[in-house]
């Protein structure tokens, strides 16, 4: 037995007098009070990936709103005289390796060849429409579809899953069997049928995505509520005489909300991707309207000669997907109670 | 706690049954309990995990609907009622303290909102100031202070959380509190804090407790009378001193002889009695029923065993 | 007595979001051959962390052994590589955990789980390992071991599962068995059986046991020596009789006083007020001072050194200093103190010299 006791100072009698211990201090809690949301935000702020994701989403959203207004071209204005021009950006045109100087892959300056004086920042498509305007117009539509679909998923999923778990028993049994039937049908077939019956367009795509999209949310909410509804704090509330409404509103929803937000964050990129996929196989937005998927689809046919037609919309869609996933991951870490001290 | 008021019955439980369907079979968690709890006393209910003691507590307070039997509180049958207003009145009289200090407080609510839940539900405060004043008063009652009101549960230790749970139950001024293993998740030194607090509250407010636990030494300490549960039934019921001094049922004997005490010398000489329910099953197939063999001392026994007990007493 | 394990000045920290948690802050202990050392303390006192450090099971990150030595058979376990530790874990030192439900693999038969260690460490053939597994199941008191060996964990009850866990731990005749609250999740009657089993096995096999628990009844039952931990330090250590019948540290008083014995019925239990300290920022001086009704001024400034009460009994409290006023322990504790002649305590300094 040895002790770390270097050198004892002189011990005076006075030091052995009873100490004044403030007994009320025993129960004191140091530090500032932190609620769940404040705590989560503190954690999210420290997550570099999530912050990058948020910045990307904000920038792309602003561009989707204001991008089309940043030049004088509209998304449907055609001019075959200036078709298929590569990207050319004032200022950056002199930086060779960026490839923003209007020179195509064969080394011909198309702007000079076609006698065009204007600058097209992302180039033009086969009808001479400004690609910059179309890409941001498409982003706007893609984001709108994704957000609307996610919102519908959220509303139906939370209500369905919540009711199923909260009332349990027979109600739960019936609602879960319905879900199983829906899951049994391949959702691609369901969506294609849906779009064939209705006119292809923004609304029908949103509805098609929502037909089966809410199932994931409903299952997550059901699982959470099932777990929570027998927790002792819910039982305590019941023994105090709380109504169903109070139990749901005060105890269940606030505790499931974190999960719901995370799930929504992952639904959005899925919806963006699915919309792009539908447009890509020709079931999406009708021209001259454009979504990111349909723009990529148009450019895909001449990928080898005019790569810029695919490159820019692809970058945007990839950034969106990555950003939403980063934010979703960050939120999951921030909300995860296992990491709480 | 000798102040049991003239044996006035507060709660009568008559042939209470709680059966759960699990797949195709039926689990008889509680199977025909009958006992009374007197005003101002602490009734201890002990037994090992799965014996149905927690289910009993939850059925009494109506978290589960009883399969059969009656729970009569202050002369009124609790389980017959359907009227929402009557139920609310009942909710105020009977409250519960839970086992797990981590799961029994909503992590998204402040301590003030948690404690004030009963006040809000029953409209016991006229305005916000009165509500907060009441919350502060309750916090002080359980040994916490005002500054804690705006904090969240995760900032508290297990013992402090358990005291918040007690304050929540006290907010509606109950007469009867069911404590469902309130200390088994706490550290030894903190257990004493909570038990002392419960005793103090009982003295000050004349509360009646049903104390459910598996820790027999603590139950002995806090209870006036104890019921020993085994497989959904009460096998022995007596005053706590009497039960420890003269356990009659072999299960009670095995349970008591298994408790390790903080006394090495006693531990070296302690011998354990074994209990096997199959060996003990009556040969004649007769069902054992609770019979009073001494004043206030009930044992589950057959007719024949009863006569033997009576002969030795 | 032969010391088979010695822990010297162990410091273990965890890096968390809220800062560095100093879970173990300078623990010294040793284990003798064939004895049972009980480490007692509340949750967060560092008792489990100490045992995990001995096993080399501190998850890194966030945890790390900051300082100190863990000497076993002339080697320092704290400095060993993971590979070297693996050859010791399970064969020389093994561990039983609290929850028998989660410490067995539900998808493997119990026989296979026992055989794993035998095949890995003792290089037995499959048939040899199997017959040894049956032998072990018999040893830990499982009826019909021949058929039980090929059953899955869910076919066993809680108490039987803990027996299987013990069989796995003992498979390779370890020299040290670390039992981390092995009976906390069990009912009292099952707990009594498991404790009997452990004592019985210890007698047969001569294993040394480190028994971690917060239940003083269990300690009185199984321990030869006791170390009481508080806030990452050992505050009192001694033989089981010294701790239960002649406790010196006010924390030990509090622990003993907070448990009702069967004859304390009317008096109040001695509750230790407040909560254990936050180990991200341990208080200056004696960590127990804020909860100690006997606290002196010096407690708030200087950490108390160990005072020697007897050759086996040490306590870290300034109350034992010659200048400290004589204090009366609480009634319930005085009742316990049965004329154990205590000589004048002496202060222990760093190099083991005694003065004062």
Q: Which residues, in sequence order, are CB contacts of A296 under 8 Å at separation 6+? A: A276, A279, A280, A310, A313, A314, A317
In this structure, are residues A292 and A316 in contact, taking their beta carbons and an 8 Å threshold? yes
- pLDDT at res. A218: 93
Q: Which residues, in sequence order, are CB contacts of C263 under 8 Å at separation 6+? A: none
Alpha helical stretches, state H, chain C:
47-55, 82-88, 110-121, 126-139, 145-148, 158-170, 188-205, 216-222, 240-245, 250-257, 331-336
Residue A24 near chain C (CB below 8 Å): no
Task: Identify the bridge partners of residue C226 per DSSP, sorted by sequence position.
Answer: C38, C238
In this structure, are residues A53 and A268 in contact, taking their beta carbons and an 8 Å threshold? no
Q: A226 lies in a domain? A: yes
Q: List domains and CATH numbers for chain B.
A: 9-246 (3.40.50.300)
Give the torsion sign (CA, C23, C29, C34, C39): negative
A116 φ, ψ (degrees, to nearest 5): -100, 130
Question: What residues make up the domain containing A186?
Answer: 39-69+136-339
State pLDDT tens for residues A125-166: 777 777 788 888 888 888 898 899 999 999 999 999 999 999
CA–CA gap between residue B214 and residue B199 (Å, rounded) = 19
Q: Which residues, in sequence order, are CB contacts of A283 under 8 Å at separation 6+? A: A191, A192, A195, A200
If we measure between CA atoms, which residue out of B151, B162, B53, B49 comes closest to residue B103? Answer: B162
Chain B residue whose CA is closest to C262: B217
pLDDT at B200 over 70: yes
- pLDDT at res. A99: 66
pLDDT at A83 over 50: yes
C10: which 2 tokens?
């162990």
CB contact under 8 Å between B217 and C255, yes or no, is no
B223: which 2 tokens?
């209870």
If we measure between CA atoms, which residue out of B161, B155, B157 comes closest to residue B142? Answer: B161
- Which of A68-82, B178-192, C24-38 is modeled with the greatest confidence? C24-38
Largest CA distance in chain B: 68
CA–CA gap between residue B12 and residue B18 (Å, rounded) = 16
pLDDT at C333 over 50: yes
Q: How far is B118 from chain A (nearest CA, A)?
A: 6
C-alpha count within 13 angstroms, C-beta hemisphere, residue B149: 16
If we measure between CA atoms, which residue out of A153, A142, A89, A107 comes closest to residue A295? Answer: A142
Instruction: Give me the residue from B195, B265, B272 closest to C192, CB to CB.
Output: B272
Q: A94 lies in a domain? A: no
Q: A87 lies in a domain? A: no
Chain B residue whose CA is closest to C278: B157
CB contacts under 8 A, A 102-161 vs C, are: none
CB atoms within 10 A of CB A13: 9
State percent of chain C over pLDDT 90.
Answer: 33
Chain C residue whose CA is closest to B260: C217
CB atoms within 10 A of CB C144: 10
Collect all residues of chain B within an 8 Å Cβ-Cβ radius of residue C36.
none
CB contacts under 8 A, A 33-62 vs B, are: 33-36
- pLDDT at res. A93: 66
Strands B68-73 vs B225-230: parallel, antiparallel or unpaired:
unpaired
- Report the run of H or E that residue A181 belongs to, with start and end: helix A169-184
Q: A215 lies in a domain? A: yes
CB atoms within 10 A of CB C61: 9
Interface test with A, best of B117, B148, B149, B210 (most A CBs within 10 A): B117
pLDDT at C75 over 80: yes
Give the torsion sign (CA, A152, A153, A158, A161): positive
Distances (CA, A) of B193 to B54, B154, B190: 23, 20, 5
CA–CA gap between residue B274 and residue C182 (Å, rounded) = 21
Instruction: Give me the residue from A29, A231, A250 closest to B103, CB to CB.
Output: A231
> Neighbouring chains of A at 3+ CB pairs within 8 Å?
B, C
- pLDDT at res. B313: 66
pLDDT at B80 over 80: no
Q: How confident is the model at residue A54 (pLDDT cuts 50, 70, 90)?
A: very high
C81: which 2 tokens?
């590589």
Q: How far is A24 from chain C (nearest CA, A)?
A: 9
- pLDDT at res. A102: 66
CA–CA gap between residue C89 and residue B264 (Å, rounded) = 32
CB contact under 8 Å between B193 and C192, yes or no, is no
A331: which 2 tokens?
């939120």
Q: A177 lies in a domain? A: yes
Q: Mapping DSSP to helix (H, G, I), strand (E, B) and coil, where does residue A254 land?
A: helix
Q: How many structural domains are present in chain A?
A: 1
CATH of the domain at A163: 1.10.3720.10
State pLDDT tens for residues A293-313: 888 887 777 777 777 778 888
pLDDT at A106 over 60: yes
State pLDDT tens for residues C243-284: 999 999 999 998 988 888 766 556 678 888 887 888 888 888
Could you say which DSSP state residue A103 is in? B
CB contact under 8 Å between B168 and A239, yes or no, is no
Q: A131 lies in a domain? A: no
Could you say which DSSP state residue C89 is in? B
C-alpha count within 13 angstroms, C-beta hemisphere, residue C235: 28
Average pLDDT over residues C129-141: 90
Average pLDDT over residues B130-140: 94
Q: List domains and CATH numbers for chain C.
A: 33-62+80-223 (3.40.50.300), 253-355 (no CATH)
CA–CA gap between residue C98 and residue C102 (Å, rounded) = 9
Q: A178 lies in a domain? A: yes
**Beta carbon pairs, B and C, within 8 Å:** 112
Interface test with B, best of A236, A237, A253, A254 (most B CBs within 10 A): A236
Q: Which residues of C291-303 are buried (b: 16+ CB within 10 A; e: fewer)?
A: bbebbbbbbbebb
- pLDDT at res. C285: 84
Q: Which of A125-129, A131-135, C108-112, C182-186 has the weakest average pLDDT? A: A125-129
First-to-last alpha carbon distance for chain A, in angstroms, is: 34
pLDDT at B162 over 90: yes
Chain B residue whose CA is closest to C267: B221
Instruction: Give me the residue from C240, C272, C273 closest to B264, CB to CB.
Output: C240
CB contact under 8 Å between C351 and A19, yes or no, is no
In this structure, are residues B151 and B110 in contact, taking their beta carbons and an 8 Å threshold? yes
Write out the residues of chain C at the interface with chain B, using a CB-CB cutoff of 8 A: 42-43, 187-189, 191-192, 195-196, 214-221, 240-241, 244-245, 254-262, 264-265, 268-273, 275-276
State pLDDT tens for residues A225-284: 999 988 999 999 999 988 888 999 899 988 998 889 888 888 888 888 888 888 877 777
Q: Which residues, in sequence order, are CB contacts of C319 under 8 Å at separation 6+? A: C248, C249, C250, C294, C296, C327
Collect all residues of chain B within an 8 Å Cβ-Cβ radius of residue A242.
117, 121
Using CB atoms within 10 A of its CB, is residue A262 exposed (0-12), middle (13-18) or buried (19+)? buried
Q: How far is B36 from chain A (nearest CA, A)?
A: 21
Q: A154 lies in a domain? A: yes
In this structure, are residues A148 and A206 in contact, taking their beta carbons and an 8 Å threshold? yes
CB contact under 8 Å between C187 and B214, yes or no, is yes
Give the torsion sign (CA, A74, A75, A76, A81): positive
Q: Which residues, in sequence order, are CB contacts of B58 under 8 Å at separation 6+? A: A235, B64, B180
CA–CA gap between residue C17 and residue A42 (Å, rounded) = 11
Question: If you average pLDDT over every residue of chain B, what do you get?
Answer: 88
pLDDT at A6 over 60: no
Q: How confident is the model at residue C109 (pLDDT cuts 50, 70, 90)?
A: very high
């Amino acid at each position: 037995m040895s002790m770390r006791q270097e050198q004892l100072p002189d011990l005076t009698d006075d030091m052995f007098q009873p100490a004044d211990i403030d007994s009320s201090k025993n129960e004191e809690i140091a530090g500032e009070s932190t609620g769940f949301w404040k705590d989560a935000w503190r954690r999210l702020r420290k997550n570099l990936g999530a912050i990058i994701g948020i910045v990307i989403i904000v920038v792309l959203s602003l561009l989707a709103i204001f991008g089309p207004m940043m030049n004088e071209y509209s998304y449907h204005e055609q001019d075959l005289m200036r078709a298929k021009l590569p990207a050319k950006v004032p200022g950056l045109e002199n930086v060779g390796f960026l490839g923003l100087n209007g020179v195509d892959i064969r080394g011909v300056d198309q702007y000079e060849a076609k006698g065009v004086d204007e600058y097209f920042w992302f180039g033009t498509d086969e009808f001479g429409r400004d690609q910059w305007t179309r890409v941001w117009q498409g982003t706007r539509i893609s984001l709108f579809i994704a957000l609307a679909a996610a919102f519908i998923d959220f509303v139906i999923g939370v209500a369905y899953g919540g009711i199923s778990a909260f009332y349990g028993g027979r109600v739960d049994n019936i609602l879960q069997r319905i879900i199983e039937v829906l899951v049994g049908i391949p959702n691609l077939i369901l969506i294609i049928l849906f779009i064939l019956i209705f006119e292809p367009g923004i609304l029908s795509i949103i509805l098609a995505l929502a037909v089966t999209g809410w199932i994931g949310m409903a299952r997550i909410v059901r699982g959470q509520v099932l777990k929570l509804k027998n927790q002792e704090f819910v039982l305590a509330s019941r023994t105090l005489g709380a109504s169903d409404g109070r139990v749901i509103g005060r105890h269940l929803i606030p505790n499931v909300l974190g999960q719901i937000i995370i799930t929504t964050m992952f639904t959005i990129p899925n919806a963006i991707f699915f919309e792009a996929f539908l447009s890509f196989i020709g079931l999406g937005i009708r021209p001259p309207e454009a979504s990111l998927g349909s723009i990529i689809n148009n450019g895909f046919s001449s990928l080898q000669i005019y790569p810029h037609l695919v490159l820019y919309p692809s970058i945007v869609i990839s950034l969106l997907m990555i950003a939403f996933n980063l934010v979703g991951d960050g939120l999951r870490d921030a909300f995860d109670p296992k990491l709480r001290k | 706690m000798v102040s049991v008021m003239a044996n006035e019955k507060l709660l009568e439980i008559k042939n209470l049954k709680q059966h759960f369907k699990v797949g195709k079979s039926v689990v008889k968690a509680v199977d025909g309990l009958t006992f009374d709890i007197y005003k101002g006393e602490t009734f201890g209910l002990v037994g090992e995990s799965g014996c149905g003691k927690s289910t009993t507590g939850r059925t009494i307070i109506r978290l589960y609907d009883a399969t059969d039997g009656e729970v009569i509180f202050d002369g009124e049958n609790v389980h017959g009622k359907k009227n929402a207003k009557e139920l609310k009145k009942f909710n105020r009289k009977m409250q519960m303290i839970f086992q797990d200090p981590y799961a029994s407080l909503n992590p998204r609510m402040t301590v003030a909102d948690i404690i004030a839940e009963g006040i809000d539900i029953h409209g016991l405060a006229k305005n916000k100031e009165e509500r907060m004043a009441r919350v502060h008063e309750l916090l002080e009652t359980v040994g916490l202070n005002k500054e804690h009101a705006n904090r969240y549960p995760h900032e508290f230790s297990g013992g402090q959380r358990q005291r918040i749970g007690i304050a929540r139950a006290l907010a509606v001024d109950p007469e009867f509190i069911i404590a469902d293993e309130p200390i088994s998740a706490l550290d030894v030194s903190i257990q004493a804090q909570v038990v002392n607090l419960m005793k103090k509250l009982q003295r000050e407010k004349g509360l009646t407790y049903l104390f459910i636990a598996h820790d027999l030494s603590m139950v002995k300490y806090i209870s006036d009378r104890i019921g020993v549960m085994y497989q959904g039934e009460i096998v022995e019921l007596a005053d706590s001193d009497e039960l420890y001094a003269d356990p009659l049922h072999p299960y009670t004997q095995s349970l008591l002889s298994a408790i390790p005490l903080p006394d090495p010398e006693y531990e070296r000489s302690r011998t354990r009695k074994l209990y096997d329910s199959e060996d003990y099953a009556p040969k004649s197939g007769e069902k054992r029923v609770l019979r009073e063999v001494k004043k206030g001392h009930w044992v589950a026994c057959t007719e024949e065993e009863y006569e033997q007990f009576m002969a030795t007493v | 007595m032969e010391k088979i394990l010695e822990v010297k000045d162990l410091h273990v920290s965890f890096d968390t979001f809220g800062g560095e948690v100093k879970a173990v802050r300078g623990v010294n202990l040793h284990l003798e051959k064939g004895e049972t050392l009980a480490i007692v303390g509340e949750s967060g006192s560092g008792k489990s962390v100490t045992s995990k450090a001995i096993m080399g099971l501190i998850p890194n990150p966030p945890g790390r052994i900051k300082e100190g030595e863990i000497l076993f058979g002339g080697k320092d376990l704290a400095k060993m590589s993971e590979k070297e530790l693996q050859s010791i874990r399970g064969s020389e030192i093994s561990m039983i955990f609290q929850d028998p439900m989660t410490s067995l693999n539900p998808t493997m038969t119990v026989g296979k789980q026992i055989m794993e260690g035998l095949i890995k460490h003792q290089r037995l053939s499959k048939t040899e390992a199997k017959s040894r597994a049956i032998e072990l199941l018999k040893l830990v008191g499982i009826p019909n071991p021949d058929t039980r060996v090929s059953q899955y964990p869910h076919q066993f009850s809680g108490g039987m599962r803990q027996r299987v866990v013990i069989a796995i731990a003992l498979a390779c005749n370890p020299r040290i068995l670390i039992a981390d609250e092995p009976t906390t999740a069990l009912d009292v009657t099952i707990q009594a059986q498991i404790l009997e089993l452990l004592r019985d096995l210890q007698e047969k096999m001569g294993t040394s046991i480190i028994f971690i628990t917060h239940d003083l009844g269990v300690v009185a039952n199984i321990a030869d020596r006791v170390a009481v931990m508080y806030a990452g330090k050992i505050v009192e250590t001694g033989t089981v009789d010294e701790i239960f019948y002649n406790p010196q540290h006010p924390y030990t008083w509090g622990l003993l006083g907070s448990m009702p014995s069967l004859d304390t019925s009317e008096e109040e239990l001695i509750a230790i007020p407040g909560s254990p300290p936050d180990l991200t920022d341990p208080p200056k001086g004696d960590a127990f001072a804020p909860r100690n009704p006997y606290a002196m001024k010096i407690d708030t400034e200087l950490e108390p050194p160990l005072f020697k009460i007897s050759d086996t009994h040490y306590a870290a409290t300034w109350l034992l200093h010659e200048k400290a006023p004589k204090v009366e322990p609480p009634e319930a504790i005085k009742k316990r103190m049965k004329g154990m002649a205590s000589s004048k305590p002496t202060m222990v300094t760093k190099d083991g010299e005694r003065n004062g």
